[in-house]
Structure 1
């Protein structure tokens, strides 16, 4: 069997992607089954987490859609559920009547923090035994580099 150095670049890229994807699926399944997500499903938490990172407090629905792995219609329904539960507030964008702005309510912010603290502990319990601190830093560097290259390609299209 030939070593990795003699593989075609296309095959190596496909194997790299499959490894990344399979690892992400396995990690997410493990994390989703943990105690942190008993109060709120992970996709709803993802919305709260993304809104908690917004410096202005408000984020456009279409910008939120850029950060989550849901279709626009699924995200709209999810946001409606979160609004009914009192976790997010929305208002029309002042400069664009069609746009919608979202923000966390106080209750949403508290729930995000509560789940987030437990989620961080679950992540640490999963990652720390598997990867040294140096490996964690290298994995972060590589995934950031890959994600950054995607943004550059979108801009050049």
Structure 2
């Protein structure tokens, strides 16, 4: 006998299965991409910081703003940024509106490395995605994931 409780249970189960499938697909794709040639020069987590800075219109972000966009803890991000700075890929400057605030920006070397890795990374993504999904399916997946992200951001 299926009543309202059975329907709610089915909806919960479907949501959980959908999330697990999405998550496991993302993990499988990321593992494949991380093992590819694009990330031999720089680990994917470090590239993520360079990529995030490259997408910023002002070219500068505070550490906490980067932290909101990457999947790292604040302390891990601080250590990672220290490594990037030592390699000459990012630079810190004092925020003009707040003497205690620190802004991060790509150096010229960081920008060039991000672009180089990014071009190869995009080709690797296409190599994985294009044989698995048609162009229409890719557009539908994009639409659905953007819809899900917008809904979560609205909560």
| Stretches (4+) displaced over 6 A | none
Q: 2:137 aligns with which of 135, 138, 143?
A: 135
**Separation in 2 of the partners of 1:76 and 1:130?**
37
SS of 1:75's partner is: helix
Q: State the aligned residue count.
A: 149
Q: What residue ranges of structure 1 are gaps of 5+ in the alignment?
A: none
Q: Which runs of 5+ in 2 are unaligned?
A: 1-6
**Which of 32, 35, 55 in structure 1 is aligned with 2:34?**
32
- State the superposition RMSD in angstroms: 1.4
> Does residue 1:10 correspond to 2:12, yes or no?
yes
Kept after mapping to 2: 8 A contact 1:58/1:103: yes
DSSP 3-state at the match of 2:103: strand
Provide TM-score, normalisation by structure 1. Answer: 0.91
Shift of 1:91: 1.5
How far 1:100 sits from its partner (Å)?
A: 1.8
Once the two structures are TM-superposed, the CA of residue 7 in structure 1 deviates from its matched residue by 6.4
- Cα offsets for 1:53-104 (capped at 9, x unmatched): 0111111111110110000010010001000000001122222234221110
**Are residue 56 (structure 1) and residue 58 (structure 2) matched?**
yes
Give 1:142 deviation, angstroms: 0.5
Pairwise CA distance, 1:148? 0.7
Query: What secondary structure does 2:88 align onto?
Result: coil
CA distance in 2, matches of 1:6, 1:75: 40
